[in-house]
Structure 1
Amino acid sequence: MAETPKGQQTRAKLLEAAQAEFSEYGLAGARVDRIAERSGVNKQRIYAYFGNKEALFAAVMTRVYAHMSAVVPIPTTEEGLRAYVGDVFDYHRESDLVRLLAWEGLHYGAGPIPDEKEREAYYVHKTAALSVALGIDDPTAAARVLIALVGLASWPFIVPQQRRLMLGPDGDTESGWALLRASIVAHGHSIIDNVLQGSV
Structure 2
Amino acid sequence: MPRTEQLAGTRTRLLAAARDEFAAHGMGGARVGRIAEQAGVSKERIYGYFGSKEKLFAAVVSEALTEHAELLGPPAGDPAEFAGRIYDLHRRNPQLLRLMMWEALYYDDRVGLPNEQPRTARYRDMVATLSGALGTESDSEAASTLLALIGLAILPTAFPQITRLILGPAADDSGGGNGTRADTGTGTDADLRAHIVQLARRMVSS
TM norm. shorter chain > 0.5: yes
Report the alpha carbon displacement of residue 137 of structure 1 after superposing the two structures with TM: 6.0
Q: Does 1:105 align with 2:109?
A: no
Number of aligned residue pairs: 190
Q: How does 1:114-125 map to 2 (within 5 A)?
A: 114-125=114-125
Q: How does 1:1-200 map to 2 (within 5 A)?
A: 4-77=4-77, 79=78, 81-95=79-93, 96-111=95-110, 112-136=112-136, 138-172=138-172, 173-174=182-183, 176-194=188-206
Q: Unpaired segments of 5 or more residues in structure 2?
A: 173-181
- Tell me the SS of whatever aligns to 1:179: helix
Q: Alpha-carbon deviations, 1:22-77, whole Å to 9, x = none? A: 10001111110111111112211111111111111111111111111111111222
In the alignment, the residues of structure 1 paired with residue 160 and residue 34 of structure 2 have an alpha-carbon distance, to the nearest angstrom, of 26
In the alignment, the residues of structure 2 paired with residue 41 and residue 134 of structure 1 have an alpha-carbon distance, to the nearest angstrom, of 50
CA pair 136-56 structure 1, distance change in 2 beyond 3 A: farther
The residue identity in structure 1 corresponding to 2:202 is S
In the alignment, the residues of structure 2 paired with residue 161 and residue 38 of structure 1 have an alpha-carbon distance, to the nearest angstrom, of 30
Identical counterparts, % of pairs: 42
- Tell me the SS of whatever aligns to 2:76: coil
- Tell me the SS of whatever aligns to 2:188: helix
- Tell me the SS of whatever aligns to 2:84: helix
Q: Unpaired segments of 5 or more residues in structure 1?
A: 195-200
Q: Output the aligned Cα RMSD.
A: 1.6
In the alignment, the residues of structure 1 paired with residue 97 and residue 83 of structure 2 have an alpha-carbon distance, to the nearest angstrom, of 15
Q: Which consecutive aligned stretches of 4+ in structure 1 deviate over 4 angstroms post-superposition?
A: none
